[in-house]
Amino acid sequence: MSRSRLVNCRVPKRAKEHGTRNAPRLLTQDTRSERSLPALIATVPDDRLLTLAHVCALLQVRKSVVYAACDYGDLEYVRFEGTVQLLPDRMRGRIRFVVATRRLAPHASGPLGGAAVHCESALRGGGNGRTLRRFGERMGHVLTAILLIGGASIVDHVLAARKARQAGDAKTWLAEGQQALAHVPDHPDLLISMARAQAANGHATDAVGLLRQAIERGAGLEVQRVQEFQALPASVELDDLSVRARRNLAAVSRAEVFAVLPDATAQPEGVEYDPATRRVFTGTTHGEILQIDPAGTVSTFVPRGGALREVLGIKVDARRRLLWAATCVYPELFSATQGKPDAGISGVIAYSLETGKLVQQAWLDERPSLHGFNDLAVARSGDVYVTDTPQNAVYRLHGGKLSLLFRHPRMSLPNGIVLAPDQRHLYVAALEGLIRFDLRTGMRQPVAVPRDAAVNSIDGLSWHEGALVGVQRSPYLARIVRIELSKDGASVVRTVTLNARSPAEYNQTTVAVGKEWLYAVASAPAIDTSETPLASAPKPQILRIPLEVATKR
């Protein structure tokens, strides 16, 4: 499937004065007014497609400047699938919108006749654009353009590598996996997959090197039970790695069962704690919210059949006595067809913690563009931030209205989200690791990780005493971990395992910080490193872990 990037940038004040023979058509309408959008769109040829090279030529900057501008926030990415509607949206004084009148062709470069409207303006002018500051200074009015980027996303490469492995195609497995690993070089799952692929292709030295990296980051497995590793030549180093990998498999058993949900089909996802009443809440895919009292008794807080769809993340706004829920009809991410008729509808809903009555709701329905709100964070101001996993995005609810906060090219399948106590920095968990977003400046950056740690593929994310607490569902990790940060919050100092493979049979998803306990959801059967289910059926339950083990010493 084709991938693209939505670029928001500014047209230089002198743009009208710098037309060139070979440049794409310059548009001079003032896009700051929404009333001018239809006229603006009407003037754009619908066969114009810009590649990254074209945009670099138009902006007269290098590729590195474009990429850096995207990381800084001057340019904005979006994953583009099929056709979408006109989406005017004000953000920091800028208008962003996507226009496509036809389905995108599955090509990766060059002008494609009849593909879509991909450019509303072009930039020509002086300056060499060597720095981001110069880049920003050269911007004037708003322009929006979509770049169709050649090649697949990291998720595409992962899926292709998996398919090749299952088909016994070792060369393609290695080639696709290397593309994925280039995006995420510190992911234990990918490191092990590529170690296996290297071994399958007869590259023993490379296989051992990748395996070592995964084990140093905490991955646990029985090395000698992996078919590809059985062909590796015996060595002292491989024996040592096998011992360390087996040690990483050991359970850290600190969790105990707090409550078992009566409906085995409930599929709970999010969990939250109300400090005023000491109740624990969890939402289910049946469109309900359950509450558990301090004794572990489960009852219904919000019944089925109301406004809720599938309930994922939930958060308490203790100041306003509200319980917020991220709800959606979650789409099939890796399928060309959708089995649910309303797939892609997402919303955030607030209920009174005192009465259970619906207080506020906001919905996003932009089908055929599909959304899947996942987890959320609540600011002291009352603003709500929610991850949109299918769109690789974070949305903000402010004043009762939803708007896109940011997308990031290296934020695949964002999930857990938490707001730091300074109320300035958001931490978002994605396949690549943690993204830190500055709400004041719009600056976003990956959180640096040392060689002996891994923060990839975190599901739930919470904050406790200056550190993050995350749930990692990978079968090579299968743990709840405390993530200690540097003083500036920009890097990981170390990770400490709070609970691992306990109970071994069930996946843990999200975690909430209580007064004396950490509460975690466990439900679906876990799989081991050979992809074998460890339980025959789900057992939805809430676990608790003594909070003292999560406290920094």
- To the nearest whole number, what is the mean pLDDT of the chain? 77
Instruction: Give the CA dihedral 511, 513, 517, 519, nearest 10 degrees.
Output: -20
Structure-block tokens of residue 303: 């019944």
- Residue predicted with more confidence, 402 or 58: 402
Least confident of 112-126, 161-175, 452-466: 112-126
- Segment 114-137 shows an average pLDDT of 29
Query: Is 436 exposed, middle or buried, given 0-12, 13-18 or 19+ CB atoms closer than 10 A?
Result: buried
Residue 162 has pLDDT above 80, yes or no: yes
Q: Which of 357, 422, 428 is nearest to 396 (CA)?
A: 428
Q: What is the pTM of this model?
A: 0.75
Distance separating alpha carbons of residues 458 and 416, to the nearest angstrom: 7
Whole-number pLDDT of residue 234: 95
Whether the CA torsion 226, 228, 231, 233 is positive or negative: it is: negative
Q: What is the DSSP letter of 310?
A: E
CA distance 112 to 107: 8
pLDDT digits (tens, 9 = 90+) for 233-274: 999 999 999 999 999 999 999 999 999 999 999 999 999 999
CB of 383 closer than 8 Å to CB of 398: yes
**What does the block give as tokens for 511?**
């975690």
253 Cα distance to chain centroid: 29
Instruction: Give the model's confidence band at 358: pLDDT under 50 very low, under 70 low, under 90 confident, else very high.
Output: very high
The fraction of the chain above a pLDDT of 70, given in percent, is 72
Instruction: Please answer whether residues 417 and 402 qualify as being in contact, where contact means their C-beta atoms are separated by less than 8 angstroms.
Output: no
Confirm if 284 and 541 have CB atoms less than 8 A apart.
Answer: no
Does the pLDDT value for residue 187 go beyond 50? yes
Rounded-to-integer distance, Cα 331 and Cα 371, Å: 7
d(C-alpha 444, C-alpha 427), whole Å: 10
DSSP 8-state class, residue 192: H
3-class DSSP state of 363: strand
Give the amino acid at 205: T
The pLDDT assigned to 368 comes to 81
- Contact assessment for residue 490 and residue 425, using Cβ atoms and an 8 Å cutoff: no
Name which residue leads in pLDDT, 73 or 494.
494
Measure Cα distances from 16 to 30, 137, 280, 519 in Å: 12, 17, 60, 60
On whether the CB atoms of residues 484 and 494 are closer than 8 A, the answer is yes
Q: CB-based contacts of 432: which residues, under 8 Å, 6+ apart?
A: 154, 183, 184, 187, 410, 411, 412, 446, 456
Contact 404, 393 (CB under 8 A): yes
Instruction: Kindly state the tokens that stand for 372.
Output: 């899947």
End-to-end CA distance of the chain: 48
Overall average pLDDT of the 104-113 stretch: 27
Render pLDDT for 2-31 as a digit per residue (tens, 0 to 9): 333 333 333 333 333 333 333 222 222 333
Q: What DSSP line would sit under 46-84, residue for residue? A: TT--B-HHHHHHHHT--HHHHHHHHHHTSS------S--
Dist CA 118 CA 25 (whole Å): 12
Task: For residue 433, give both structure tokens.
Answer: 């690791």
Answer positive or negative: Cα dihedral of 107, 113, 115, 116. Answer: positive
Q: Residue 459 in contact with residue 429, Cβ under 8 Å? A: yes
Label residue 220 by pLDDT band (50, 70, 90).
very high
The band of 55, judged by pLDDT with boundaries at 50, 70 and 90, is low
Classify burial at 60, counting beta carbons within 10 Å of its beta carbon; exposed 0-12, middle 13-18, buried 19 or more: middle
Percent of the chain with pLDDT over 90: 62
E strands, 205-356, are 256-260, 268-274, 279-284, 288-292, 298-302, 310-317, 322-328, 346-352
Domains and CATH numbers, the chain: 3-149 (no CATH), 154-248 (1.25.40), 256-332+342-550 (2.120.10.30)
Do 242 and 214 meet the contact criterion of CB atoms below 8 Å apart? Answer: no
